[in-house]
Structure 1
């Protein structure tokens, strides 16, 4: 069966599921005491999260069994686990704002953010155990594996900051663990909730890995290219901070002479002045890394779409494909 979906249809479904996920999340952490334990958890969930991961969980279930109904608790568990990682990341990054609001550790304090985040992990597992499936052991394993892998990714990111001779392989390993694993875990959890076969689960995991990589590399690309502010970042913020991204590491491989020396200096000096961002962008253009990056994003996306062709329910499968297309063509 072939279904043709327009971007408008995919976006409409996303809006409907986004609202449903937010309504369900609003019922979490309803206890009033201790205030400094539950209020921070409610606060971070009230932020302007895109709910990409729980949306993928629901679509994955729909693609393997035809309905997302039994996957809602698994989707909520994934989103709460994601927000726990954000809460603790903000502490480690000493971030003041998230989505335009004070971060949890700024609104309360660091100890409250740590404790509330720890509680959120247990709450996520409890939600997974309430899922309408007999495969709870698999769900908990998925969440545990994702949590451990994200921590590995965060540790690799910290090590990468100090590593002067970082390679693209180092970077790709880091993003696969820090960003990609929770995306693939969200899809895997939806598959389990929908009673997927092992072959179907592997298809969903492969899809998630490929889309996760494309998503992060696209994020790197938008940082330097989205000069109109749609990305929500300072244009070239990664370069200014000296962050080792795919574009920077690959362009160092592709350049020589003065261009090469300037790019290496970004790493050696832990960043560069904002007034030189345009100069760096021009080097990226000259050496061909921008074209190469767009081609890599396209290739990863095509591989992701190919991976889920065997999934049995056309509607869920096609919505997964449609949403993947939106993610890697976004300008936000």
Structure 2
């Protein structure tokens, strides 16, 4: 049953739930002391996060049982866990800014950021355990698996940074662990709070895996196609910084001769000059990787939508589909 959810309805629901999630996050970490433990956690949660993962948790619950109220604690657990990973990633990446503000380790120091992040992990589990369900063991397992998998993804990412022979398979494994697993875990956990069956959970995970991969490939695509000044992106920022992306690694497989040497030099030199971005974009276009990326984005999105077609509650299911299309910046 397709109930005709419009883009406007998805936007309204997202805006409403975004406020609910932010209000609830604002009540977390209320202790004042030790200041260097709790203030950094409050600070990172006050950033301009999109709250994609907790929103997916709430929608997954609605798609399974028609209600998301019991999923809020689990949604908060997912978002807190996500922000812990960001706090620690910023230390490892030596990042100065997140959402336009100084990163936690700069505003305080690395020790405070590490300790506060560690505390956030435990806090996330406490929230998950507040969920009214007899399936707490499953919830804890999902959070554990997500946490371990994200760490694996981050380790793979650091290893890839040092390698000059990375393959597209290496990259896809890395993004599935570092980015994709928490997206699928957010949906899986939401399903558990809605008392989903094993089959329903599998469908939610499949949905999340496909959307996560499509989202990352699209991010790579939009980077090279960006217009300066839009969405805060510099056109070709990934190329300039020597980031190993789907487009770069796949193009290395598809090209030869001088074009391949040009692409390999980006990896070997850990980046290139901004004025060479149009040249790299032209190589991507000529070897067909831009068309291939668009096909992958569309294929994964369609497979994601198809995976949840049999979920029992039409409204939640259609909002999940609508939000997936919103993420993919596709027409409804």
Shorter-normalised TM range: over 0.9
For residues 145-156 of structure 1, the aligned pairs below 5 Å read 145-156=145-156
Aligned to 1:230, what secondary structure does the other structure show? coil
Deviation string 1:233-287 (CA, Å, 9 cap, x unpaired) is: 3221111111110000111111222211101111111111111111111111111
Partner of 1:49: 49
CA drift at 1:226? 1.3
* Aligned equivalent of 2:18: 18
Matching of residue 264 in structure 1 with residue 270 in structure 2: no
Q: C-alpha root-mean-square deviation of aligned residues, in Å?
A: 0.9
Correspondences of 1:92-241 after superposition (within 5 Å):
92-241=92-241
Q: Distance in 2 between matches of 1:240 and 1:99?
A: 21
Per the TM alignment, residue 227 of structure 1 is displaced from its structure 2 partner at its CA by: 1.5
Partner SS state of residue 47, structure 2:
coil
Contact 1:56 1:320 (8 Å CA) reproduced: yes
Q: Distance in 1 between matches of 2:148 and 2:124?
A: 14
- 1:243 aligns with 243
8 Å CA contact 1:222–1:231 kept in 2: the answer is: no
Does 1:318 pair with 2:300? no
Contact 2:227-2:233 at 8 Å conserved across structures = no
Cα-to-partner distance string for 1:82-110 (whole Å, 9 max, x where unaligned)? 00000000000000000110000000010
Give the Cα separation in 2 of the matches to 1:159 and 1:295. 29
Structure 2: gaps spanning 5 or more residues? none
Where does residue 35 of structure 2 map in the other structure?
35
CA contact (8 A) 2:104 2:113 kept: yes
Counterparts of 1:233 and 1:115, CA distance in 2: 32
- Contact 1:63 / 1:317 at 8 angstroms: preserved in 2? yes
- Mapped contact 1:223–1:231 kept (Cα < 8 A): no
The aligned counterpart of 2:302 is 302
Alpha-carbon shift at residue 5 of structure 1 (Å): 1.2
Deviation (angstroms), 1:231: 3.3
Asked if 1 retains the 8 angstrom alpha-carbon contact of 2:76 and 2:124, the reply is yes
TM-score by length of structure 2 reads 0.98
Native 8 Å contact 2:223 2:233 kept in 1: yes
SS at match of 1:242: coil
Distance 2:73 2:250 in 1: 41
Contact 2:228/2:234 (CA < 8 Å) preserved in 1?
Answer: no
- Bigger drift between 48-57 and 221-230 goes to 221-230
Distance across 2 between alignment mates of 1:81 and 1:114:
13
Query: How many Å apart are 1:230 and its aligned residue?
Result: 2.9
Superposition pairs of residues 270-281 of structure 1, within 5 angstroms: 270-281=270-281
Paired residues of 1:36 and 1:112 also in contact (CA < 8 A): yes
Tell me the TM-score normalized by structure 1.
0.98
Unaligned runs of 5+ in 1: none
SS state of the match for residue 283, structure 2? helix
CA distance in structure 1 between the aligned counterparts of 2:97 and 2:278, rounded to whole angstroms = 26
Cα distance in structure 1, aligned partners of 2:160 and 2:234:
22
